[in-house]
Chain A
Amino acid sequence: MTERTSNLELDAPRDKTFLDANELIINMGPQHPATHGVLRVILKLDGEKVLGTECVIGYLHRGVEKIAEHRTYTMFNPYVDRMDYVAAVSNGLGYCEAVEKLLNVEAPPRANYIRVILTELNRIASHQLWLGTHALDIGAITPLFYTFRDREEILKIFEKYCGARLTTHAFRIGGCQYETYEGFEADVKKFVAFVTPKIDEYEELLTTNRIWVERTRNVGLITGKQAIALGVTGPVLRASGVKWDLRKAQPYAAYPDFDFEIPIGQNGDTFDRYIVRMQEMRQSLRIISQAVERIPEGPIMAKVPKVLKPPVGEIYHSIEAPKGELGYFIVSDGSTQPYRVRVRPPSFVNLQALDMMVRGSLVADVIAVIGTLDIVLGEVDR
């Protein structure tokens, strides 16, 4: 391999004494269980203390944006599922809505309700996966088994709905391809009743657990101001006290119809981000219960032509994905294939904050911070 050059910049030149022989550059990843994929972090250490980091990414780069230019709008739809593969439904929702706007069509209300239910189920699944793996990184093994056991119920609903568990391709441009199956509402209600006490169970394991609290309190601090400057969004931003959620700020799909809160934290540490995500799961359940009660009758597809040729123009549309603001910037030249599709990936932008968040902390905290940022490398690298 050609060496990737690292240029770690330290805040200030340090006094050079023989003790500085302790300064060490080590390599973490890309094959490392706690990096949640193939993330390579070059760490500059003084003993256990982190002086600086540099992320080396791109190991999973598949050229998604280039592929988009050589596929029709419809053909590109399944590709977006492969970016954030633990929240594929969200990716699909963002893409379909962006193209719909470009086409000037609107999904019918029933489709929007189905979209909200599935997207919120996926948010819970994504947060459960995050919780399990994050807790495992920090040393708590039990939550992994609990969350994977319960996440399975969501994946079963997806499988019954569209035949796929992870890369679901659940939505189509203009609505949904599939009508809900017989007993969908009952399954969703059953799931809500099933998982509500389970979230309390996860919290019982961790929230007051002394080891958990000491490993997460005041670790990976980021203030609201810093988060905004770094473009950080999603639960990480909200845990720093910024009450901003695209579902409220610029509502899309059927979100204006539902009552829900935006949970926020104060300290912007790993513990607050944990609490925010736990509360978000509860809020998602609230949205799902309301949606499934009120799901309207009607068509599930808007009238869209078989061959999609959006008029010349461009659109930026973003949604609140489980990881933050997921945006699509699509430029149409009037042909069947997009001229350009740019994906604004929340994981990529959030990962940029890693360096700031771990400087001065311990190596073990790097693991905690990578976990708390909740990145998916498929989306970072695209």
Chain B
Amino acid sequence: MPEDTKSPSPPPPGNEPKPGAEKQSGAAQSTSSADKPAPAAVPPKPAAPAKPTGPVPVPWDSPMVAKLRQQYGSGIREANTYLRQNYLVVDSSLLPELLQLLRDEEQFDYCVDITALHYPQREKQFDVIWILYSFARNERIRVKTQIADGAPAPSAVSIWPTADWLEREVYDMFGIIFEGHPNLKRILLPDGWKGYPLRKDYGIIQQDQEWVQINLGIESGQ
């Protein structure tokens, strides 16, 4: 599948997804995926997946990353390539300045998507993810940051107007507040709904009983 995001610089030599090369770099790079506190961090051996060890993130080197590292130092926590897709993990204090810079100076003029992930066991429970694309460079990147429950994320509406509904959906589903959003309210669920369905502690058949009883006039939606 040649869906590779074309990096302006030639990819680093160890970038090709060759199983042999990856096993070697796997040991060295295993720390870089430590931010994912997945329950099964070790690939389950007995289930015999297609490859015993899958590809691992490798460092992403490009002039842009070098420039950002120079400017923000350790604020850029990770810059990796996984499955030929590039992503940055950054400190939430760099936003929205970094997003503005990516649009203005690095030509990421299209904000593809904004979404979030919930890790209830973690101290900073949420990952907020911006997927950006540059028409000029034909390149797609992800910017990822961690925020705590109740802490605000910066709104990108003034950078990309498309962020309006995308942020509203994240708010609707996760309860993440986007600071500076002009009209942050629920979008898919009704205004009076309680709870944020895509949080991991929200059950699959859970619902706002009170809302259902008052507004639909039925005991339960189940």
Interface residues of A, Cβ cutoff 8 Å to B: 1-2, 4-5, 7, 57-58, 61, 63, 65-67, 69-70, 97, 100-106, 228-232, 242, 244, 249-252, 256, 303-305, 307, 309-318, 325, 327, 329, 331, 333-335, 339-340, 342, 344, 348-349, 352, 381-382
Query: How far does the alpha carbon of A303 sit from the alpha carbon of B190 in the complex, in Å?
Result: 45
Q: Are A311 and B1 in contact (CB under 8 A)?
A: no
Closest B residue, CB atoms, query A101: B83
Given known A57-B187, A334-B41, contact A66–B164 (CB-CB < 8 A): no
Q: Are B41 and A228 in contact (CB under 8 A)?
A: no
Q: Are B135 and A244 in contact (CB under 8 A)?
A: yes
Q: Are A329 and B55 in contact (CB under 8 A)?
A: no
Question: In the complex, which residues of chain A have a beta carbon less than 8 angstroms from the beta carbon of B43?
Answer: 311-312, 334
Q: Are A105 and B38 in contact (CB under 8 A)?
A: no
Q: Are B47 and A309 in contact (CB under 8 A)?
A: yes
- Supplied contacts A250-B3, A313-B82, 11 more A-B pairs, CB within 8 Å: A1-B190, A63-B197, A230-B161, A231-B166, A312-B54, A313-B54, A316-B131, A316-B140, A329-B129, A334-B38, A382-B188
B121 → A minimal CB distance (Å): 12
| Cross-interface CB contact of A249 among B85, B138, B142, cutoff 8 Å | B138
Query: How far does the alpha carbon of A106 sit from the alpha carbon of B84 in the complex, in Å?
Result: 14
Closest A residue, CB atoms, query B199: A66
Question: In the complex, which residues of chain B have a beta carbon less than 8 angstroms from the beta carbon of A69?
Answer: 204
Q: Are B190 and A2 in contact (CB under 8 A)?
A: yes
Query: How far does the alpha carbon of A339 sit from the alpha carbon of B37 in the complex, in Å?
Result: 11
B67 contacts chain A at the CB level, 8 A cutoff: no
Given known A57-B187, A231-B160, contact A316–B50 (CB-CB < 8 A): no
| Cross-interface CB contact of B188 among A61, A251, A305, cutoff 8 Å | A61
B159 → A minimal CB distance (Å): 9
Q: Are B2 and A65 in contact (CB under 8 A)?
A: no
Q: From B41, B44, B115, B183, name the one whose CB has the most chain A CB atoms within 10 angstroms.
A: B115
B13 contacts chain A at the CB level, 8 A cutoff: no
Q: Are B36 and A66 in contact (CB under 8 A)?
A: no
A-B pairs with lowest CB-CB distance, top 10: A311-B54, A231-B162, A333-B38, A58-B188, A334-B40, A344-B113, A2-B192, A342-B115, A61-B188, A70-B204
From B58-66, B104-112, B147-155, the one touching the partner chain is B104-112
Question: In the complex, which residues of chain B have a beta carbon less than 8 angstroms from the beta carbon of A312?
Answer: 33, 36, 38, 40-41, 43, 54
Q: Are B165 and A102 in contact (CB under 8 A)?
A: no
| Cross-interface CB contact of A229 among B162, B190, B192, cutoff 8 Å | B162
Question: In the complex, which residues of chain B have a beta carbon less than 8 angstroms from the beta carbon of A66?
Answer: 197-198, 202, 204
B39 contacts chain A at the CB level, 8 A cutoff: yes
B88 → A minimal CB distance (Å): 13
Query: How far does the alpha carbon of A382 sit from the alpha carbon of B51 in the complex, in Å?
Result: 33
Query: How far does the alpha carbon of A101 sit from the alpha carbon of B44 in the complex, in Å?
Result: 19
A170 → B minimal CB distance (Å): 19
Closest A residue, CB atoms, query B200: A69
Closest B residue, CB atoms, query A3: B191
Query: How far does the alpha carbon of A232 sit from the alpha carbon of B110 in the complex, in Å?
Result: 9
Query: How far does the alpha carbon of A294 sit from the alpha carbon of B211 in the complex, in Å?
Result: 57
Contact string against A for B residues 80-95, beta-carbon threshold 8 Å, 1 for contact and 0 otherwise: 0011010000000000
Q: Are A228 and B47 in contact (CB under 8 A)?
A: no
Contact string against A for B residues 184-222, beta-carbon threshold 8 Å, 1 for contact and 0 otherwise: 011111111000011000101000000100110000000
Given known A249-B138, A256-B2, A312-B33, contact A327–B40 (CB-CB < 8 A): no
Q: Are B131 and A228 in contact (CB under 8 A)?
A: no
Question: In the complex, which residues of chain A have a beta carbon less than 8 angstroms from the beta carbon of B185?
Answer: 5
